[in-house]
């Protein structure tokens, strides 16, 4: 997903990421944290970057995965975003099961929406949170998880 976003946004996105790395994040973005850059050529205002946990590297704590979603939501709220789209963070090459990613994602979004952590700048909350998924298989898994989640 990262490569597709960078190709669509253009070379300016890579330059913005390099600038963040040079100035604010010399050690890189920690797993579970999030930061925003302009979206450049994408039909969006911002790209919110997060580093998902890699199960193959021993990062198996679901709290790290939940932090990716939660911190991304906080950054989006702080920017005053009205909508945002998530991929299946850490599913795929990072080895997380799509079902677990879906459950963690829906729980994080639901908890964020009902919590007091929504900033005053976005007190009305998000109009739309959607999941943009890579395959029909992952889409089916997310739909099934949504259908079985509390409050669905």
Mean pLDDT (the chain) is 91
Can you read off the two tokens belonging to residue 6?
């960078």
- CA–CA separation, 112 and 134 (whole Å): 24
What is the arithmetic mean of pLDDT over 24-43? 97
pLDDT at 48: 97
pLDDT at 26: 96
Q: Which residue segments constitute the domains of the chain, with CATH numbers given?
A: 2-148 (3.40.220.10)
- CA–CA separation, 12 and 15 (whole Å): 5
In sequence order, the β-bridge partners of residue 67 are: none
91 secondary structure, DSSP code:
B
pLDDT at 120: 42
Q: Is 2 an active-site residue? A: yes
Selecting among 2, 61, 97, 147, the annotated active-site residue is 2
pLDDT at residue 152 greater than cutoff 70: no
Distance of CA 78 to the CA centre of its chain: 15
- CA–CA separation, 86 and 69 (whole Å): 8
* pLDDT single digits (tens) 68-123: 999 999 999 999 999 999 999 999 899 999 999 999 999 999 998 777 555 444 45
């Amino acid at each position: 997903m990262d490569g597709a976003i960078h190709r669509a946004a253009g070379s300016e996105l890579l330059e913005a990421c390099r600038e963040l790395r040079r100035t604010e994040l010399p050690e890189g973005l920690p797993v579970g944290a999030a930061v925003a850059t302009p979206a450049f050529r994408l039909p969006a205002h911002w790209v919110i970057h997060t580093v998902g946990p890699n199960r193959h590297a021993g990062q198996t704590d679901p709290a790290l995965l939940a932090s990716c979603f939660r911190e991304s939501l906080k950054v989006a709220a702080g920017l005053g975003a009205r909508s945002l789209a998530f991929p299946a963070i850490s599913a795929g090459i990072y080895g997380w099961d799509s079902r677990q990613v879906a459950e963690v994602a829906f729980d994080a979004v639901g908890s964020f929406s009902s919590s007091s952590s929504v900033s005053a700048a976005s007190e009305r909350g998000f109009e739309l949170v959607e999941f943009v998924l890579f395959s029909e298989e992952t889409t089916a898994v997310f739909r099934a998880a949504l259908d079985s989640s509390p409050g669905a």
